[in-house]
Amino acid sequence: MTPEVREKIQVLFDLKGLRMTRPRQVILDAAFSDQGAHFTADELFEKAKALDSKTSRATLYRTLVLLVDSGLLHEIDLGKGVTSYDPNFIDSPDHNHLICMDCAEVIEFEDQHMSVLGDCVTRRLGFAPSNKTIQIKAKCETLRRTGSCAHKAG
Amino acid sequence: MTPEVREKIQVLFDLKGLRMTRPRQVILDAAFSDQGAHFTADELFEKAKALDSKTSRATLYRTLVLLVDSGLLHEIDLGKGVTSYDPNFIDSPDHNHLICMDCAEVIEFEDQHMSVLGDCVTRRLGFAPSNKTIQIKAKCETLRRTGSCAHKAG
DNA sequence: TTACGTGCAAAATTTTTGCAGGGAT
DNA sequence: ATCCCTGCAAAAATTTTGCACGTAA
C-alpha cells in the first residue's frame, strides 16, 4: 500500500468518523496490496482470508460498499456478469481500461489524447468530466488469431 | 424491429440451425422493439410478458445468452451491479456510451475522433478494434449541480 | 461508556440447470 | 420421427440484512 493510499484512507475515516478495526484493516490491506490490480468480491475475500482466516463476507461486502461510495475503489465491468473492483485509481487517476470482449483480459493504459478528447465529448454532452473513466472493449490477440480465448469452449 | 435487425436474426438462426419458436419470437420482439434502448434482464422480462404473459425467465435468460454470444446484443455496465443489454448495435455499430457514475443515466453518442483515436490505442495495445465499444463514465448535470442524483438518498 | 462495527445465519436477488414433455423441421 | 426447445422448480451464485454481542474512541 502506498503512502498516498494510506492517507486517502485516513482522510476518509476521519471525515466519516469511521473506526479502524482489525477486520477493516485486513480487508484494506488485501484490497490495496500492490500485487494484482483488479479483483472480484470473491477474489478479495480469498486474499483477505490469506491475511486473516477469520475474515467474514458480510464485513467484506460492507467495506466494499464503503470504499466504492467514497471513491477509493472503482467498479469496473469485465463483461460476463462479473463485477470487479479497481484499487488503482488513487495512484493513477487518469488510467483507462482495455478489456477483451471474450476472455476479459484487462489492460490498463494512459493516453493523453484519449483523455483530452474524452473530456471534450463528456462536456459537450452535459456531463462533468471529473472522475471520468474510459473503457474500451475489443478483441485480444488470442481471440483475433484463433477465434476464441483460453477460457471459452467454443 | 428494423429490416436490418430482422435479417441479422435470420442469418444467425440459419447459421446455427436454431428454431424460430413463439417464446423466442416474443423475446426478440421485446428486445428489438424500437422503444427504449437499454434494458436489464428483468425489464426485458416485463416487456416480453406484456407481449405474452406466458414468457418464462428460463427461456429469456437462455435467449439472452444466445444473443450476446452471437453479437446481436451487447452487455453494458451501468454500474451498481446491474447488467444491462444494448440492442442498438446493429443499426448503429459505432455508437458509444456516456454513463453517469451515480444515477446510471445513459447517453449514446457517436464521435468520429473518439472512434479513430480509440482504434489507434486499441491497436497499439495489441487488440483488434473490431466491435470495439467505448464507455465513458462521468457525472451527469444533476449530480454535478446538486451533489446527488434523483435516486440517491444521500 | 456508547455508538459503531462484527459475525452468524437467514433472506433476497439474480442467473443457471436437470428433467420430462412438447413442438419445429 | 428426431432432436431441439420449453417450462417448472430446484439449485447455484452473489449480495444484503436483522440481531445480539464485541470493541474502538
Supply the DSSP string of B115-143, one letter for each residue.
HHHHHHHHHHTT-EEEEEEEEEEEE-HHH
Chain B hits for A76, CB-CB cut-off 8 Å, are: 77
CATH superfamily of B93-154: Ferric-uptake regulator, C-terminal dimerisarion domain (3.30.1490.190)
Does the predicted model carry a pTM greater than 0.95?
A: no
| pLDDT averaged per 10 residues, chain B (length 154) | 90 94 97 86 95 96 94 80 82 83 82 93 90 84 71 36
Contact: A134, B135; criterion CB under 8 Å? yes
Interface test with A, best of B15, B69, B102, B134 (most A CBs within 10 A): B134
Contact B108, B37 (CB under 8 A): yes
Contact B143, A128 (CB under 8 A): yes
A49-52: long-range contacts, CB 8 A cutoff, minimum separation 24: A51/A26, A52/A22, A52/A23, A52/A26
d(CA B142, CA A122) in angstroms, rounded, equals 14
Around A71, how many Cα atoms within 13 Å sit in the side-chain half-sphere? 14
Thinking of the domain A1-91, which architecture would CATH place it in?
Answer: Orthogonal Bundle (1.10)
Q: For residue A150, is pLDDT > 80? A: no
Contact B107, B66 (CB under 8 A): no
Contact: A132, B138; criterion CB under 8 Å? yes
- Return the domain boundaries, chain B: 1-91, 93-154
